[in-house]
């Protein structure tokens, strides 16, 4: 069962889901290139991750119509199996757009996943929230197929 809660405040949003997978499996899916590429709409072989504070990441996202968008960023905070703060480089901005992912055990074999992000405008927030919701749907399906 997937529970979802959405909270929007100003130009921020928070999505919370309960996933039917252990914390370590969710962490692995989010921080390992091959599984990440499978659920995050990334081109095979395009994902690189140096998961440590100050480490860099990159991926090429493939849209449903076949468009490719290279993304880059860095990791601001890394607490294995608990918290991941990633920054995505935004053209024309000095500071990356930060996204916080928090994991907590839920029941015997589940994970409560909380994703939060603050954007510069309401439109950016709405677009980012929609994209993150799609990613979480894909992650949920990926974790179910991995069990």
Q: How far apart are CA 101 and CA 53, in angstroms?
A: 14
Q: What is the pTM of this model?
A: 0.89
pLDDT per residue as tens digits for the range 118-135: 998 889 999 999 999 999
Number of domains in the chain: 1
CA distances from 145 to 64, 75, 139, 140, 142 (A): 21, 28, 10, 9, 5
Q: What is the pLDDT of residue 2?
A: 43
Q: What is the residue range of 29's domain? A: 3-146
* Span 65-96, pLDDT tens digits: 999 999 999 999 999 999 999 999 988 888 89
Q: For residue 147, what pLDDT is reported?
A: 66
4: pLDDT confidence band, cut at 50, 70 and 90?
very low
Task: Tell me how far CA of residue 144 lies from CA of 29, 31, 73, 134, in angstroms.
Answer: 12, 18, 28, 16
CATH number at residue 78: 3.30.530.20
């Amino acid at each position: 069962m997937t529970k979802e809660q959405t909270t929007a405040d100003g130009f921020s949003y928070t999505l919370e889901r309960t996933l039917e997978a252990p914390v370590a499996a969710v962490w692995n899916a989010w921080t390992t290139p091959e599984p990440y590429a499978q659920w995050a709409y990334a081109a095979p072989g395009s994902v690189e991750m140096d998961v440590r504070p100050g480490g860099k990441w990159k991926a090429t996202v493939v849209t449903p119509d076949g468009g490719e968008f290279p993304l880059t960023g860095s990791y601001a905070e890394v607490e294995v199996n608990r918290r991941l703060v990633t920054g995505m480089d935004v053209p024309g901005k000095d500071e990356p757009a930060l996204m916080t992912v928090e994991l907590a055990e839920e029941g015997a074999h589940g994970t409560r996943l909380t994703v939060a992000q603050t954007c510069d405008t309401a439109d950016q927030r709405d677009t980012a929230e929609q994209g993150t919701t799609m990613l979480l749907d894909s992650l949920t399906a990926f974790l179910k197929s991995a069990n």
